[in-house]
Amino acid sequence: GEQVEQRPPHLSVPEGDSAVIICTYTDSATAYFYWYKQEPGAGLQLLMSVFSNVDRKEEQGLTVLLNKKDKQLSLNLTAAHPGDSAVYFCAVSLHTGGADRLTFGKGTQLIIQP
Amino acid sequence: GGIITQTPKFLIGQEGQKLTLKCQQNFNHDTMYWYRQDSGKGLRLIYYSITENDLQKGDLSEGYDASREKKSSFSLTVTSAQKNEMAVFLCASSIAQTNTGQLYFGEGSKLTVL
């Protein structure tokens, strides 16, 4: 089945710097790609979703890049601030509808140093 | 907006005990999920349900039972708690036909087995 590797597991950057998190997946038929954010004591919140026909998507200081050739998905937080400190998960899915069988990465603990 | 409510937030049990976690959603979503979150292991799907009285096994269903009593509620039972069952259990829901990966998560139930 689908495997998702996420790196790094921990990342600490100064406020104002960029932070990059990378995921690699194994199934070339993967159609949907997601980034979720989990703040302490809370559930996961969807940050961005990308379909496989999109290479780049930007929203509110976040950039998602999809490299289908290398089966790699990345999340770039530009000008990070302390409120970005959280655990970030990538997730991928083969399905177009019905129950979303997402495969999650193991998460990245991001700390933004004030 | 809607909300997912998980009860209890913290559950302490004895080894071998049968323990039940409950989840309620008022989004009127068709599909509900139970995930287990272990530190450094990401999220793993235990059970999901696409409609009332439906149950589908996930990747980690052994040792668990689930019940979708009505559309708004989905419960998970640990059939015999083990020492290594210390984890956070996350309930989520989504509309039936979504390709956005928009799962809505509860805040989690933390299980500790003594």
pLDDT confidence band for A99 (50 / 70 / 90): low
Instruction: Name the residue with tokens 């038929």.
Output: A29
pLDDT for the residue numbered A97: 47
Chain A CB contacts of B102 below 8 Å: 46, 49
A101 versus B34: the higher-pLDDT residue is B34
Amino acid in position A64: V
Q: Which of B42, B48, B105 faces A105 most closely, judged by CB atoms?
A: B42
Q: Which of B44, B50, B105 faces A43 most closely, judged by CB atoms?
A: B105
- CA–CA separation, A17 vs A81, rounded Å? 8
pLDDT confidence band for A96 (50 / 70 / 90): low
Question: What's the mean pLDDT when you consider all of chain A?
Answer: 90
Q: Could you report the per-residue pLDDT of B51-103, keeping only the tens digit for each?
A: 899 999 988 999 999 999 999 999 999 999 998 778 999 999 988 655 556 78
Per cent of chain A over pLDDT 70 is 95
Q: Could you report the per-residue pLDDT of B9-61, keeping only the tens digit for each?
A: 999 999 999 999 999 999 999 899 999 998 877 899 999 998 899 999 988 99
Q: Could you report the per-residue pLDDT of A59-88, keeping only the tens digit for each?
A: 989 999 999 999 999 999 999 999 999 999
Mean pLDDT of A82-99: 81
Instruction: Name the residue with tokens 């919140």.
Output: A45
A33 versus A1: the higher-pLDDT residue is A33
Chain B nearest-CA distance from A92, in A, is: 9
pLDDT for the residue numbered B102: 78
Chain A CB contacts of B98 below 8 Å: 97, 100
Is A104 close to B101, i.e. CB distance below 8 A? no
Distance of CA A69 to the CA centre of its chain: 18
Chain A nearest-CA distance from B111, in A, is: 14
Q: Which two tokens stand for residue B37?
A: 């979150």
Q: Could you report the per-residue pLDDT of A31-48, keeping only the tens digit for each?
A: 889 999 999 888 899 899
Per cent of chain B over pLDDT 70 is 95
* B97 part of contact set with chain A, CB < 8 Å: yes
- CA–CA separation, A84 vs A37, rounded Å? 9
Chain B CB contacts of A87 below 8 Å: none
Chain B CB contacts of A101 below 8 Å: 45
pLDDT(A98) > 70: no
| Of A93, A75, A104, the residue nearest A11 (C-alpha) | A75
